[in-house]
Amino acid sequence: MNSVDASEHYELNATELAPSLLTVILDTNPHAWATLENSLPLTKAVANILVFINAHLACNYANEVAVVASHTTKATWLYPVHDEDPTKALADGDGDITMNGQDGTGSQTNKYRPFRVVEERVTQRLKELMDTTSSEDLRGNTSTMLAGALTLALSNINRRTIAWAEKHGGADLEDAAGDTGGGGSGPAGGTGPGRYSAASDDERLQSRILIVSVSGSSDSAHQYIPVMNGIFACQRLHIPIDVCKLSGDAVFLQQACDATKGVYMALSEPRGLLQYLMMAFLPDQRSRKHLVLPTRVDVDFRAACFCHRRVVDIGYVCSICLSIFCEPPPDNECLTCGTPLDIGDFGSKPALIPRKKKKKKRANGTSTVGTPMSTGTPTPGPG
């Protein structure tokens, strides 16, 4: 054929980019949402998040989504529900599949089925979660289970990435968590075992986590160690953590975005939640390479002490396990590894480095300090 038309023909393999998996961690702390009742109720926030999820699914027909609720007593799945029959929620009393929606009014007939399934599952599971929360649960705990939600998100990402790699032959999380250093058949060649290359980004399932938070850092200080472990796992697996902060301060979440190269935004006006979600958090990792992302330069890198789980500025650090204490531990022994600590004569407070005294500035080359007056007879001038 080439000799007939004097042209060369090549076989082009059409390779599609791997889809994106978006995991939304919704903070459902009733204590924190009560403070936002006048500006942004939970029902309106969920409606805005569902529109954002639909936009993510509309970007690519193969995109996936998962929603986790970080509640006061537990972290649970809102979508997908792994322990439930997929046709149970869409079946009527006779067991037949309902085609016109759960209310039977036909209002759901023209809605795109993936949108409808996600909306029904999330709203139903969220309603069940709120109905099963008793007043005793709210009195006993005012924090949110962020560490458990991160663990559920990472486990689902790992499962979906492995399934995608087995089905399409792409890279899995082990390739992403491989050695990023040079030498040999490292990242440049991408042939070594457990190696990570830039090409593996397009081969494996693109995963990211979005945290919609309303609780303060003091509420999750007791989860400092498991939360940081989840952050380090996301950093190693190249999974960015995005944070949309609606209220309160978030010391640990700022560190999560900084370590994983995610987007952190604290909304001054929670009523514009949908606009922030669509403009700042909708682009995936590939699109963000061509965009100017909002960044923070004033990241709070404070840590929580291991003894009282309080966020501290200055504390004692164990030289063996790097545990942090706000005050000398009992018997001067590390509570984590049991190593004897040499506290010294610092007393009950950590030692502070004294500041150097600043020299007074000179005005017109002369010191501002008063010059002693001469008691001698002044010398008469000429003339």
Question: For 137-162, how does the pLDDT look when each residue is reduced to its tens digit (9 = 90+)?
Answer: 888 777 889 999 999 999 999 999 99
Domain count, the chain: 2
Is residue 77 located within the same domain as residue 135?
Answer: yes
Question: For 14-32, how does the pLDDT look when each residue is reduced to its tens digit (9 = 90+)?
Answer: 456 789 999 999 999 998 8
- In a domain, residue 1? The reply is no
Is residue 238 located within the same domain as residue 316?
Answer: no
- In a domain, residue 273? The reply is yes
Helix 224-236 vs helix 146-168: angle between axes, to the nearest 10 degrees?
20
Is residue 157 located within the same domain as residue 246?
Answer: yes
Is residue 121 located within the same domain as residue 230?
Answer: yes
Q: Locate 130 and state its tokens.
A: 């709120």
Question: For 62-98, how does the pLDDT look when each residue is reduced to its tens digit (9 = 90+)?
Answer: 999 999 999 998 999 999 987 665 445 455 545 554 5
- Separation CA 54–CA 381 (nearest Å): 93
Is residue 334 located within the same domain as residue 247?
Answer: no
Is residue 311 located within the same domain as residue 280?
Answer: no
How far is residue 306 from each of residues 114, 215, 329, 333, measured CA to CA in Å?
45, 21, 10, 13
- Separation CA 55–CA 190 (nearest Å): 34
Is residue 36 located within the same domain as residue 120?
Answer: yes
End-to-end CA separation in angstroms for the chain:
116
Residue with the bigger pLDDT between 377 and 116: it is 116
Helix 42-59 vs helix 113-131: angle between axes, to the nearest 10 degrees?
150
- In a domain, residue 190? The reply is no
Residue 344 has pLDDT above 60, yes or no: yes
Q: Locate 298 and state its tokens.
A: 């004033």
231: left (phi over 0), alpha (psi -120 to 50) or beta: alpha
Q: Which residues form the domain of 336?
A: 303-346
